[in-house]
Structure 1
């Protein structure tokens, strides 16, 4: 027992009108009972098909190595390292992991658990500037007091304190920052 025309079209993955046209043009033959034998019809379909009318499979663009690397890194960070080649499941898993990470980060920001990087840098810079200015003004404020207590020349003492404070500030400024932002 064969398949109906619509049944064979579904089996072949084409429309029933394509099957009817193939029958009408003699490329396919029906069984005496009016059904289509799928084995014979598949053989005839391949043999009688016009190569110029065949649809080629859509060419897929190659996935950039950076994208594959990003998926690999994301899965590794999530504790699910990619084994073997790239698959749709790997890409979908990486997408879900990144979505969850972004949502988690957004929630942390809304809860004020995370500070804005630009604002933190600006405030840190402003604090360092105020600290530097306070230290640069310190020798002139205290040199007279120290000179009175020790009997030293106030002008020489202020010059010495200013020199040492500047040296210290330069040393601190030239030191690599231990804060990583």
Structure 2
């Protein structure tokens, strides 16, 4: 024989209404006589309740509860190391905060990382809407197009000016054009070595 709902609520440190809601939603079960077995109800409550929604004395354990531990209780896979590394990277944390916890990440830290990512995403969206950010692919294409037009303009320059320069210097126009073209192509080849990084 178990305990009454009111007594179990007192033992758990929650309101009588919380226990009634847990029973109604099927998170905890009652005995045939309507009483509650505290040990079984605690296990069911822990297994089927989001740690962030815990209340009462059980909410104090939220900071040490781990997502991997919750996952094991629900018969699912533990949190992969890549996810833990992603949380640490998001929070800008290179220290090993999981030492002694079997490589698990606390639910609170995972939730904090999620909120940080949401804030960063919202900031990027706002900056893009305000016109402060541009698309990297578009910027790369624009720089490439500009450089190609510059190159083409320079390659077309010797034929246009060679005759006038040759007349001023008193030399043969075709020879001057060939010399200008050769030196200009060498100069453009040197400039092509410059790499632009748009990261």
TM norm. shorter chain > 0.5: yes
Give a deviation string over 1:106-125, Cα, whole Å, max 9, x none. Answer: 00011001112222112111
Question: How many Å separate the matches in 1 of 2:172 and 2:141?
Answer: 41
Note the 1:150-165 alignment, pairs <5 A.
Answer: 150-165=169-184
Displacement of 1:66: 1.6
Q: TM-score, normalised by structure 1?
A: 0.67
Equivalence for 2:91: 75
Equivalence for 2:97: 84
Equivalence for 1:131: 150
C-alpha contact (below 8 Å) 1:5/1:16 kept by paired residues: no
Equivalence for 1:106: 125
Cα separation, partners in 2 of 1:161 and 1:14, compared to 1, 3 Å: closer
Question: How many Å separate the matches in 1 of 2:119 and 2:172?
Answer: 67
Q: Which has the higher contact order (CA 8 A, sep 6+)?
A: 2
Displacement of 1:3: 7.2
CA RMSD of aligned residues (A): 3.2
Displacement of 1:180: 2.7
C-alpha contact (below 8 Å) 1:136/1:166 kept by paired residues: yes
Equivalence for 1:179: 197
Give a deviation string over 1:42-65, Cα, whole Å, max 9, x none. Answer: 7xxxxxxxxxxxxx9422312222
How many residue pairs match? The answer is 146
Give a deviation string over 1:57-109, Cα, whole Å, max 9, x none. Answer: 42231222221111111111xxx666621211111111111100000000001
Equivalence for 1:53: none
Equivalence for 2:66: none
Cα separation, partners in 2 of 1:115 and 1:124, compared to 1, 3 Å: same
C-alpha contact (below 8 Å) 1:140/1:158 kept by paired residues: yes
Q: TM-score, normalised by structure 2?
A: 0.62
Unaligned runs of 5+ in 2: 13-26, 40-71, 99-104
Select the structure of larger CA radius of gyration: 1
SS in 2 for 1:115: coil
Unaligned runs of 5+ in 1: 22-34, 43-55
Equivalence for 2:31: 17
